[in-house]
Chains A and B, each alone.
Chain A
Amino acid sequence: EVQLVESGGGLVQPGGSLRLSCAASGFIFNDYAINWVRQAPGKGLEWLSFISGSSRHIYYADSVKGRFAISRDNAKHSVHLQMDSLRAEDTAVYYCARDVSDHIGDSYFNIRFDPWGQGTLVTVSS
């Protein structure tokens, strides 16, 4: 079974740091990019970051660029999100999601996120 499991969430003070992890199983981990997406309480989905299978390509949303850093350890089938300088508005459930696509040669299409982990709650408060 393809599965992603997040961990590392919790309560942190404003200005603090937290490191989230996403453990993957059931698929060839190196072959897939992974994304982080968050959802503030009662709000919609916000894409945060992408890391390719080789870690060669990394992207961030403007809202977290310079504060968050994504990385992966292919030997341990895990992806991490290092979150620094946390703010109250970073309070959310954080999901990791596998980036799936079809491709012919170097052309990628039918991109989708599947599956998603169950999420981990990050609360930034004093």
Chain B
Amino acid sequence: VLTQSPGTLSLSPGERATLSCRASQSVSSSYLVWYQQKPGQAPRLLIYGASTRATGIPDRFSGSGSGTDFTLTISRLEPEDFAMYYCQQKGTSPRYSFGQGTKLEI
């Protein structure tokens, strides 16, 4: 089980955002992924392997962590960064699972 916190994060453009994803059991960093989802849109890949930015993702996005604790950091929020963020892991059964999400709002 993946637990994301906080459920909602209220910040202003230019501020730093720190989103947490905690696993109930140790997860290989290779299997920890972050997605961004905006209203009415499909999720978009942000970070995989816990810390590797996907193609086209700005370097203000960074991922870190290992074991059971992972973090997505947005160094300086831009207006377009306000969205839902989900972490995902590959497990055994079920094969994949998602955290419940963090809403990043202005």
Tell me the A residues contacting B by CB distance below 8 Å.
35, 44-47, 50, 59, 61-62, 95, 97, 109-119
Contacts and interface: CB of A to CB of B under 8 A. Distances in A.
B23 to A, nearest CB: 15
Contacts of A114: 45, 54
Nearest to A60: B94
A110 B43 contact: no
29 contacts: A35-B96, A44-B98, A44-B99, A44-B100, A45-B43, A45-B88, A45-B101, A46-B98, A47-B96, A59-B95, A61-B94, A95-B42, A97-B43, A110-B30, A110-B48, A111-B30, A111-B31, A111-B33, A111-B48, A111-B90, A112-B33, A113-B33, A113-B88, A114-B54, A115-B42, A116-B42, A116-B43, A118-B41, A119-B42
B97 A47 contact: yes
Contacts of B42: 95, 115-119
B49 A110 contact: yes
Nearest to A47: B96
A117 B44 CA distance: 10
Interface of B: 28, 30-31, 33, 35, 37, 41-45, 48-49, 52, 54, 86, 88, 90, 94-101
Given A44-B86, A44-B101, A112 B48 contact: yes
Contacts, number: 62
Contacts of A47: 88, 94-98
A47 B88 CA distance: 10
Contact of B44 (A46, A61, A111, A116): A116
Contacts of A111: 30-31, 33, 48, 90
A67 B84 CA distance: 30
A109 B49 contact: yes
A44 B99 CA distance: 8
Contacts of B37: 45
A59 B94 contact: yes
Contact of A115 (B45, B52, B95): B45
